[in-house]
Chain A
Amino acid sequence: MTDPSFSTGSDPDPNPDVSTDVSIGGNVQDSEAALVAQVHEAQAAGRALRIQGTGSKAFYGNSCPAEAVLDCTGHRGVVAYEPSELAITARAGTSLLEIEHLLAEQSQQFPFEPPHFGDGTGSDDIGGGTLGGLVATGLSGPSRPYTGSVRDAVLGVRLLNGRGEVLHFGGQVMKNVAGYDLSRLMAGALGVLGVLLEVSLKVIPTPPATLTLVHECSLEAALQQLRRWARRPLPITASAWYQGRLMIRLSGSDEALAESHRLLGGTPLDVAESAWRVLRDQRHAFFLGDAPLWRLSVSPATPADALPGAEDQLIEWGGALRWLTGDQDVAQLRALAQAAGGHATLFRPGRGPMPADGVFNPLEPVVKRLHQQLKSAFDPQGILNPRRLYPDL
């Protein structure tokens, strides 16, 4: 058997200033030093920076007005991957596709099934951006309710804060409660606290087999069915409903899948793998076009009629994620999502206007103040990705 490890092995220093491994990514010392130097320069000049990978998720969040770009794509390469440790560490500029290929060779995968957002060519093999972008946006795919989110899988980060300091938090081990959990805080932070340099993420074994079953039913019937199934220990790893069709994916051994099929009924879907990928990457017809796309993250117990446009929605995550297109009364939609235990995000503005207070649900006053104080604690001059998360942050 070949050794799949990219580990630096016996390096005894837990906080190395510079990684000794250059197996994939060129001169790492230079690429990290270059990023640090750019942050120092920006700090000295009081100039804001827009942190960027390949730009595959540039559409997401509020727009950052900074003209100067901090390009992270040169800081790439896998630092450590030992399959039996169920963890991988790579530099932020490493391509998601490259990492997923490496994991697949060992029959492993990310638990959160990351979406690969578009290069716009409609090709079936979209690169999906960089590891840094994946963690900074914190966007998870269809398996999220069943095997966890990006945040859940973060084990450690190497971070460049707005003071130009390189910091290491967390590690490569599953259980680690030393100090504040500043590594998971970076998931979904959209770079406002620091530039990700390296990330360690948990990985899981790829299940031996999967089976996708389709049931024809109304949205309310689908939601009720999903809730009933969620209360049983079934091997469900994805679920979606659109236009009268409920689709669930089961993962496990052939025996477990056969038994589940017997219990749950439904028609097996042949082209399942590509169907879930199309959904994950938002290449499904529902997501195309230039209408505003709203993401409603709510309690899975929310009835269909509690949110507008029920039968026109696309549902994922066992009912906890509901997508809606078209022009909406923003204040009303946010209020309804909030009443449903969640929040509304204008995921893609499309041809519609940008809300003045940003695409994300505004924060309560105390939480907003804590955001501002945390931002100052990491980036006192506010030079990293200003306004990207909230227009006043």
Chain B
Amino acid sequence: MPRIPDERPLNPQPDIIAALSAVLPAGTVLSSAAELAPYECDGLTAFRQRPMVVALPECIEQVQQVLRLCHDARVPVVVRGAGTGLSGGALPLADGVLVSLAKFNRILAVDPDSLSARVQPGVRNLAISEAAAPYGLYYAPDPSSQIACTIGGNVAENSGGVHCLKYGLTVHNILKLKLLTIEGELFEVGREALDAPGLDLLALLTGSEGMLAVIVEITVKLLPKPERAQVLLAAFADVETAGAAVAGIIAAGITPAGLEMMDNPAIRAAEDFVQAGYPVEAEAVLICELDGFNAEVSFEVMRVRELLLSAGATEVRTAADEAERLLFWKGRKAAFPAVGRLSPDYYCMDGTIPRRELPRVLRRIAELAADYSLRVANVFHAGDGNLHPLILYDANHPGELERAEELGGAILELCVAVGGTVTGEHGVGVEKLNQMCVQFNTTELEQMHRVKAAFDPHGLLNPGKAVPTLHRCAEFGAMHVHHGELKFPELPRF
């Protein structure tokens, strides 16, 4: 996999540094090697690139000035929040300006009457719920990085979390955005109301990975905090039975707040790390959280317990108190770092599959892992079909990183083949550009490029991310013949 995904010829214009310094306050334009180093990657650390310059604007007018300068000089712009993204969406460009919105960190208003909060993009996800807590309200999407990740990044990636099944993704939990075009013009999409006139640009801009516009303010929807949350932990002797139990809960008309699965390698790693009392002999555990109105939760806990036992669980535990509920979650929440202890490096994948395909996909992942001589632990948002295989490797062993990436690519292609997608919640970024060539054909990718051009005709916003060029897909296709046919027969190969 190429380390530098951007296929544009470099066009360094160092004059932009002086121009930025002239319009931004002292100390907010960074260009020395030492100053740039912290910005060279996001949460996908395998890809690194120092930007030409970093700008840290403090208000909307300053962002407008930065964008106008970049637009007029045709300098590409990458916008960044906390840099916790896992797909390289905030990877800088060597000849580009990296705009950090870290200083946009104010909660502007919390309105309990309209169940909403107006916040700047650099506000941390968890800080919104903390500000809403005195009113008995919270912001529902909770990506695992919620103590650090920012709401602007959440909107750009359409982030999920463990409670998506019941509460939806970011797109379901925001009302309105204020944005800037690449030309620096301010515009709004959405309303304080539940809909807006015209095309649903709010839906289009959410998850657009910084390719279409720059988000400068967000109005999020708040929900009343559940009266009660209760968790069950169930052990299974095989993954198929656990998968069937998930389908059984859904078919019974219950929508859990969270429904998570871990396979045996993930269970053992988590138990070794945090001693949550997980059954280490089990081939799979399910963690099912039910929340909401007290009387409803009581009813559902009984139903789910019966369903798990009749589906063939070898053991079902119901958390006796809040301490035990948190303990059940502790193992799941520690799964990634726990797996990190098994291996110097790991690579986290993010495919989504129809739930019914779970047993087949897990079997095939195990076969693929054996083919590549690598270990894989599986952590899975079972309720919504979002799979996080963790591929263990050691970057110090020559060739292992490349093997891990190839295995990751093969797993994502498997997800597409069974009717799923290459990314459920982490985004495409630079990481999954090749797999986008598998999921979409030429005309679909061309349509996406035309949508990009409708917002950003010169291709200056985060170029090289999210949607691969046809040329890239042709080169990738030359290596991967898909279903016995070349995907891009009309393009030259060289």
Contact = CB atoms under 8 A, between A and B. Distances in A.
- Bound pair (A, B): yes
Nearest to B172: A152
Interface residue tally of chain A, by bracket?
A: 35 or more
Contacts of B165: 174
Interface string A195-235: 00000000011111000000000000000000100111111
Interface string B130-165: 000001110000000000000000000110100011
Contact of A253 (B171, B255, B296): B296
B59 interface: no
Nearest to B253: A205
A259 B421 contact: no
Interface stretch (A68-76, A94-102, A117-125, A340-348): A340-348
B224 A297 contact: no
Interface stretch (B42-50, B179-187, B308-316, B392-400): B179-187
Contacts of B423: 176-178
Contacts of B353: 173
A299 B417 CA distance: 43
B203 A185 contact: yes
B293 to A, nearest CB: 5
Contacts of A207: 253
Contact of B455 (A107, A255, A360, A373): A373
Given A341-B114, A374-B454, A14 B424 contact: no
A374 to B, nearest CB: 5
B355 interface: yes
A138 B198 contact: no
A376 B381 CA distance: 39
Contact of A173 (B188, B250, B384): B384
Contacts of A83: 250-251
A390 interface: yes
Contact of A320 (B164, B193, B300, B443): B193
B125 interface: no
B113 A389 contact: no
A189 B187 contact: no
Given A178-B432, A342-B192, A188 B255 contact: no
Interface stretch (B279-287, B371-379, B433-441): B433-441
Contacts of B129: none
Interface string B39-78: 0000000000000000000000000000000000000000
A366 B115 CA distance: 28
Given A317-B194, A377-B447, A205 B254 contact: yes
B277 interface: no
A371 B444 CA distance: 20
Contact of B352 (A175, A181, A301): A175
A13 to B, nearest CB: 6
B136 A370 contact: no
Interface string A349-380: 00000000000111110110011011011100
Given A138-B200, A177-B427, A367-B187, A172 B419 contact: yes
A13 B194 CA distance: 37
A167 B428 contact: no
Interface string B388-418: 0000000000000000000000000000111
Contacts of A298: 192-193
A177 B444 CA distance: 15
Contacts of A11: 419
B422 A85 contact: no
A171 interface: yes
Given A169-B444, A174-B164, A175-B385, A84 B247 contact: yes
A279 interface: no
Contact of A180 (B195, B200, B204): B204
B105 interface: no
B292 interface: yes
A86 B250 contact: yes
A104 interface: no
Given A177-B158, A182-B448, A360-B198, A231 B421 contact: no
A174 B225 CA distance: 23
B425 A15 contact: no
Given A178-B432, A233-B293, A389 B199 contact: yes
A383 interface: no
A243 B137 CA distance: 31
B315 to A, nearest CB: 23
Given A174-B352, A253-B295, A389-B199, A179 B112 contact: no
Contacts of A255: 295-296, 298-299
A295 B178 CA distance: 24
A185 B199 CA distance: 7
Interface string B347-359: 0000011111000
Contact of A165 (B136, B204, B300, B447): B447
A189 B200 contact: yes
Contacts of A192: 199
A252 interface: yes
B97 interface: no
Nearest to A374: B454
A259 B385 contact: no
A168 interface: yes
Contacts of A376: 454
B451 A182 contact: yes
A90 to B, nearest CB: 16
A55 interface: no
Contacts of B454: 370, 373-374, 376-377
A52 interface: no
B198 A367 contact: yes
A143 B5 CA distance: 45
B293 A259 contact: yes
A323 to B, nearest CB: 14
Given A84-B250, A172-B354, A177 B295 contact: no
A151 B355 CA distance: 23
B483 interface: yes
A174 B192 contact: no
Contact of B448 (A180, A193, A362): A180
Contact of A345 (B197, B227, B420): B197
Contact of A370 (B114, B450, B452, B455): B455
A148 interface: yes
Contacts of A259: 293-295
A264 to B, nearest CB: 12
A185 B204 contact: yes
19 contacts: A84-B247, A85-B385, A171-B419, A174-B384, A174-B385, A175-B386, A176-B423, A177-B158, A178-B436, A180-B212, A185-B199, A188-B195, A205-B255, A227-B113, A231-B112, A233-B292, A252-B296, A298-B193, A299-B192
Interface of B: 111-115, 135-137, 157-158, 160, 164-165, 168-169, 171-172, 181, 185-189, 191-201, 203-204, 206-208, 211-212, 223-227, 247-248, 250-255, 292-296, 298-300, 352-356, 381, 384-386, 416-428, 432, 436, 439-441, 443-444, 447-448, 450-455, 466-467, 483
Interface of A: 11-15, 82-86, 107, 138, 144-145, 148-149, 151-152, 161, 165-169, 171-182, 184-185, 187-189, 192-193, 204-208, 227, 230-235, 252-253, 255-256, 258-260, 297-301, 317, 320-321, 340-343, 345, 360-364, 366-367, 370-371, 373-374, 376-378, 389-390
Top 3 A-B pairs, shortest CB-CB distance: A341-B192, A342-B193, A205-B253
Given A86-B250, A167-B447, 8 more contacts: A13-B483, A15-B440, A84-B247, A171-B419, A178-B422, A205-B254, A253-B300, A300-B113
